[in-house]
Chains A and B, each alone.
Chain A
Amino acid sequence: MGKHIVYKNHCTPQEQRIIGGRYYLDSDANRKLTGSHSFELGSSSVGTGTLTSSGVLLMAFGLDFISVKVTSGDDVTLSLDGGTTQIIKLKNGECFSSKIAVGAEPYVTITGTSTVEYLVGT
């Protein structure tokens, strides 16, 4: 009982064997991959927001879960150390979702014209 965030991450590796041919399931992986989890919020709550310039997600510290999506514009990068190391790149339409450590400092860097929507568990 209570509040929780259900999240799922998937990927499908593919390979092309002839020029102009169709893509098949990658023969090294041989499968589609998926994982899901229900993150219990406990006394925490859910927050949402939008960024159109570089900045932190709602607050710099104390987030337990983040989901970041580029809803329009150019590529953006995401760091978890306050903007020092850009470790994840997101293109338009892409979304990154994960539980994060308490000490992480999620920071989105927008260099062009982009809109980023996010959801956090605090």
Chain B
Amino acid sequence: MAISRRIIYSSYVSPREDELSEEGYTSQQTISNKMAGKGTVVINQEQAHDGWVSFLQPYQLWQGATHSTDQWESQASVWDEGDLRITNGSATRLRLDTVNINFLYIKNTGTNEATLALEGDEYDILIPVGAAVSMRVNDISSANIKVDTRSGTTTIEYIIAKTP
């Protein structure tokens, strides 16, 4: 049982240009200043919702299991990686309870670009395949945080943390 929770987050950006040498090797040259930053976000110690992270940890369902009906071989889902599947046009909410959010991390683990809205239906943040976004959210309601795709389906892993 956690008595305190926090998330350390960071971002790193490096603009580069590929250059082909006379010998045929490709090297990368920095073309502008790099940018990097780091911070610590204190989140609510009691998240009150198992869905605040997409990962289903081992043992998560122990407290809900009963000896007579729940067997290990029928509980394979708790060992899954826990990625959430998003379909174009679905406008998927990450948290179904309505609370204020002060930290959000989303990584696109699928095959199509994901989109993120923090203010209803304005999908201004784009998450290409393999990319992630991490941010200190300005106490936005979880009802306003939605994910979609630009086309097709993709999968994401995420953390959506409630404000203290």
Contacts and interface: CB of A to CB of B under 8 A. Distances in A.
Interface of A: 1-19, 23, 26-31, 33-37, 39, 46, 48, 67, 69-70, 77, 80-81, 85-91, 93-101, 103-104, 117-119, 121
B125 A100 contact: yes
Contacts of A16: 2-6
A46 B31 contact: yes
A22 B47 CA distance: 20
A108 to B, nearest CB: 12
Interface of B: 1-18, 20, 26, 31-33, 35-39, 45, 47, 50, 52-53, 55, 57, 102-103, 105, 107-108, 115, 118-119, 122-138, 140, 157, 159, 161
Most buried by A among B1, B9, B53, B124: B124
Contacts, number: 217
B93 to A, nearest CB: 16
Nearest to B126: A99
Contacts of A9: 9-12, 105, 131-134
A101 B32 contact: no
Q: Which 3 A-B pairs have the closest CB atoms?
A: A35-B132, A95-B37, A37-B131
Contacts of A4: 15-18
Contact of B9 (A7, A10, A37, A104): A10
B129 to A, nearest CB: 8
Most buried by A among B6, B119, B134: B134
Most buried by B among A19, A93, A103: A93
Given A9-B131, A33-B132, A77 B138 contact: yes
A33 B105 contact: yes
